[in-house]
C-alpha cells in the first residue's frame, strides 16, 4: 500500500496578517507613521507590509483619521477648547483649486523670432539719443 505524501512547500511559510496587525497598521498610518517604521514595529520587511497591508495603509488610515476628526468635532461642540483648537488647526482641503493666473491677452498670435526682431528694429531709435538723427522709417510697399 502506498501512502500519499503531502506536498510540502520549501522555504519560509507565507505571511498571513492578523486582524490585530491590520488594526495596528491603520492606526499608525492614520497617525502619520512612515511605512518603514510600521514594518519595523511589526517585525516584518517593508515590502511585506506594502504587499499585504495596502488597503490599511490607504483607506484604513483615512478612516481612522476621519474618526479622530469626528471625535474632535464632537468634543469641540461640547465646549472643549483644546479640541476646538486642534480641530481648527488643520486647513480644510476642500473645494476647487484656485484658477491659474490669467495670461496677458493679445489680439495677435505670437510672432516668430525673425518677425519679432523686425518689429523691434522699427522702434529701435525711439527713446534714444539717435531718435533726432534717425527719422521715422518710410513704409514699404508690399
Residue 14 included in any domain = no
- Three-state SS for 3? coil
Residue 108 included in any domain = no
d(CA 118, CA 42): 70
Q: Provide the pLDDT for residue 137.
A: 59
User: Can you tell me the mean pLDDT for 91-97?
Assistant: 72
- Three-state SS for 115? helix
Residue 81 included in any domain = yes
d(CA 71, CA 63): 12
Stated pTM of the model: 0.53
Contact 25, 33 (CB under 8 A): no
Residue 53 included in any domain = yes
Residue 71 included in any domain = yes
- Three-state SS for 70? helix
User: Can you tell me the mean pLDDT for 20-35?
Assistant: 93
Residue 40 included in any domain = yes
Q: Provide the pLDDT for residue 29.
A: 93
d(CA 120, CA 127): 13
Number of domains in the chain: 1
Residue 26 included in any domain = yes
Residue 97 included in any domain = no
Mean pLDDT, rounded, of the chain: 82
Q: Which domain holds residue 77?
A: 19-89
Amino acid at each position: 500500500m502506498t501512502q500519499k505524501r503531502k506536498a510540502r512547500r520549501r522555504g519560509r511559510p507565507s505571511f498571513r496578517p492578523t486582524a490585530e496587525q491590520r488594526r495596528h497598521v491603520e492606526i499608525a498610518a492614520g497617525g502619520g507613521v512612515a511605512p518603514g517604521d510600521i514594518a519595523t514595529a511589526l517585525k516584518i520587511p517593508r515590502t511585506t507590509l506594502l504587499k499585504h497591508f495596502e488597503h490599511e495603509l490607504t483607506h484604513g488610515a483615512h478612516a481612522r483619521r476621519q474618526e479622530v476628526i469626528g471625535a474632535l468635532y464632537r468634543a469641540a461642540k461640547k465646549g472643549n477648547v483644546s479640541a476646538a483648537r486642534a480641530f481648527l488647526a488643520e486647513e480644510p482641503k476642500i473645494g476647487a483649486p484656485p484658477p491659474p493666473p490669467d495670461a496677458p491677452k493679445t489680439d495677435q498670435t505670437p510672432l516668430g523670432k525673425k518677425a519679432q526682431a523686425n518689429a523691434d528694429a522699427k522702434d529701435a531709435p525711439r527713446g534714444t539719443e539717435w531718435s533726432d538723427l534717425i527719422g521715422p522709417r518710410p513704409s514699404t510697399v508690399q
